[in-house]
């Protein structure tokens, strides 16, 4: 009996030991300041009156620099060069021939220099540079804002075209090398001082959907241009193995108004990205969708770059036949568990209410929210910097 107790004790001790070890791992971190921020969804559409306000703050008492990458995920027509979502957008009126809608991935990088504890904000369509910078040092006034540092060197470009769909990554970096700051011994001095929010605004209705940027905390950065995200030699905390989206089925009647129809958009960003070679290895996202009866349906989708789609078009071009449709789901709410195969994912969701969920022009409100995350295996992802 005593032996059995000892076995149980060892098992318990081992269990608590593993609990302690597991405390080291973490998922994309909306909870704390971090060294790498991911704004999963930046939208600008001048025609529809949509723009995105971005907010980046330095929580440190010292000046900090962030090396940022806008990723333009627009698809373009092979014949007209215009922005498209399907080949139907690619009709060349001169020749009456449809072109192909080819997915694109264009990266634009820039630097942001922040003074101590400084917040910086800008509108994606406008950018921020020159005289608009709050703290511009001159020869006669090297400390324009009184404290340490200045914003000189900051050139946030406006997004390159409209409509625009893309993401933004900002990596806390060394101002000289433009590479991530290496951690000190034991990871005690890793640079994790950035927080951020984004607010997607419909300018005509003034409605706003705000979400916190996902953060990956630096845990053992060596200062080179290959950032290992998760895995055995992780320099940053891992991306999620499973993203959990609690959602309202597309077409479901909003319980509050009793009239409006709900629709959701899901945005997914692969964690592995090669900014040096300008490539993104594809990731397959597997979806397990549960309704309120715990009935399960599934689908999968290839994620080439940034994936942004109404949820009822993830698995079909006919929304009413989708497993994310209220007509198929049969309940108002559902849970989707999204697993990235061959790589981790980050993302966010946007819930909209409209008179007709298939018609954006009838939208009366929207809200953004972060996805829940589960880290199970901590597969390594890599971000390669130029």
Q: For the segment 142-171, give every residue that binds other proteins (CB under 8 A).
A: 145-147
Q: What is d(CA 276, CA 222) in angstroms, rounded to the nearest whole number?
A: 18
Candidate list 69, 105, 164, 366; residue touching other proteins; CB under 8 A: 366
Smallest CA-to-CA distance from 100 within 85, 115, 113 is with 85
Residue selected from 82, 104, 121, 175 as contacting other proteins according to rule CB under 8 A: 121
* Nearest Cα to Cα of residue 345 among 197, 223, 227, 230: 230
Nearer to other proteins, 305 or 370 (CB): 370
Window of 25-33, 75-83, 90-98, 308-316 that interacts with other proteins by CB under 8 A: 25-33
| By CB under 8 A, residue 315 contacts other proteins | no
- Choose one: 83-91, 102-110, 301-309, 325-333; the region binding other proteins (CB under 8 A): 325-333
* Cβ nearer to other proteins, comparing 283 with 353: 353
**Binding flag, residue 131, other proteins (CB under 8 A):** no
Q: Select the residue interacting with other proteins from 80, 85, 108, 116 (CB under 8 A).
A: 116
Does 297 interact with other proteins (rule: CB under 8 A)? no
Q: How many residues bind other proteins (CB under 8 A)?
A: 95
Query: Would you say 339 and 253 are in contact if contact means Cβ atoms under 8 Å apart?
Result: no
Does residue 313 interact with other proteins by CB under 8 A?
A: no
**180 strand-pairing partners:** 173
Task: For residues 297 and 321, give the distance between their C-alpha atoms in angstroms, rounded to a whole number.
Answer: 13
- CA–CA separation, 356 vs 59, rounded Å? 43
Kindly tell me which residue out of 72, 267, 273, 291 binds other proteins, with binding defined by CB under 8 A.
291
Contact 69, 228 (CB under 8 A): no
Nearer residue to other proteins within complex by CB, 72 or 373: 373
Q: Does 40 bind other proteins (CB under 8 A)?
A: no
Question: In this structure, what token pair is assigned to residue 66?
Answer: 């962030």
CA distance 246 to 334: 6
Residues 56-75 that bind other proteins (CB under 8 A): 57, 59
Span from 31-39, 67-75, 82-90, 171-179 in contact with other proteins (CB under 8 A): 31-39
Q: According to CB under 8 A, which one of 195, 218, 312, 325 is a site residue for other proteins?
A: 195
CA distance 142 to 115: 12
Q: Quick one: tokens of 354?
A: 């409209």
- 381 binding other proteins? (CB under 8 A): no
286: contact with other proteins by CB under 8 A: no
Out of 282, 332, 341, 360, the only residue in the binding site for other proteins (CB under 8 A) is 332
Contacts to other proteins from residues 201-240, by CB under 8 A: 201-212, 215
Residue 355 within binding range of other proteins, rule CB under 8 A: no
Q: Does 49 bind other proteins (CB under 8 A)?
A: yes
Contacts of 262 (CB under 8 A, 6+ apart): 248, 249, 250, 251, 252, 253, 254, 351, 352, 353, 357
Overall size of the chain counted in residues:
386
Asked if residues 305 and 103 have their Cβ atoms less than 8 Å apart, the reply is yes
Q: Phi/psi zone of residue 278: left (φ > 0), alpha (ψ -120 to 50 degrees), beta?
A: left
In angstroms, give the least distance from the CB of 250 to other proteins.
14
């Amino acid at each position: 009996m005593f032996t059995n107790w000892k076995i149980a004790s060892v098992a318990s001790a081992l269990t608590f030991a593993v609990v302690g070890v597991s405390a080291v791992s973490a998922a994309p971190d909306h909870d704390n300041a971090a060294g790498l921020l991911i704004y999963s969804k930046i939208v600008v559409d001048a025609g529809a009156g949509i723009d995105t306000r971005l907010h980046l703050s330095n929580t440190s008492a010292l000046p900090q620099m962030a090396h940022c990458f806008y990723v333009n995920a627009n698809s373009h027509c092979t014949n007209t060069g215009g922005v498209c979502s399907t080949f139907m957008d690619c009709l060349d009126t001169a020749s009456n021939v449809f072109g192909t809608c080819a997915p694109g991935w264009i990266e634009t990088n820039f630097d942001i220099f922040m003074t101590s504890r400084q917040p910086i904000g800008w509108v994606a369509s406008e950018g921020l540079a020159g005289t608009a910078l709050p703290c511009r040092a001159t020869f006669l006034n090297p400390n324009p804002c009184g404290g340490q540092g200045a914003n000189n060197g900051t050139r946030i470009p406006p997004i390159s075209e409209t409509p625009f769909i893309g993401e933004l990554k900002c990596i806390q970096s060394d101002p000289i090398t433009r590479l991530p700051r290496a951690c000190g011994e034991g990871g005690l001095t890793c640079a994790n001082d950035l927080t951020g929010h984004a607010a997607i605004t419909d300018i005509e209705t003034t409605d706003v959907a705000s979400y916190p940027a996902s953060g990956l905390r630096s845990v053992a950065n060596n200062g080179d241009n290959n950032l290992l995200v998760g895995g055995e030699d992780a320099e940053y905390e891992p991306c999620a193995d499973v993203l959990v989206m609690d959602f309202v089925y597309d077409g479901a009647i909003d319980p509050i108004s009793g009239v409006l129809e709900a629709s959701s958009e899901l945005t997914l960003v692969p964690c592995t990205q090669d900014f040096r070679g300008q490539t993104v290895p594809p990731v397959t996202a597997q979806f397990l969708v549960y309704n309120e009866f715990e009935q399960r349906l599934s689908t999968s989708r290839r994620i080439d770059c940034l994936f942004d789609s109404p949820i009822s078009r993830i698995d079909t071009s006919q929304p009413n036949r989708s497993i994310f449709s209220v007509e198929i789901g049969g309940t108002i709410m559902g849970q989707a568990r999204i697993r990235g195969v061959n790589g981790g994912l980050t993302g966010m969701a946007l819930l909209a209410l409209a008179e007709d969920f298939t018609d954006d022009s009838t939208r009366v409100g929207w809200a953004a929210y972060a996805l829940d995350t589960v880290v199970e295996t901590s597969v390594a992802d890599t971000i390669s910097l130029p």
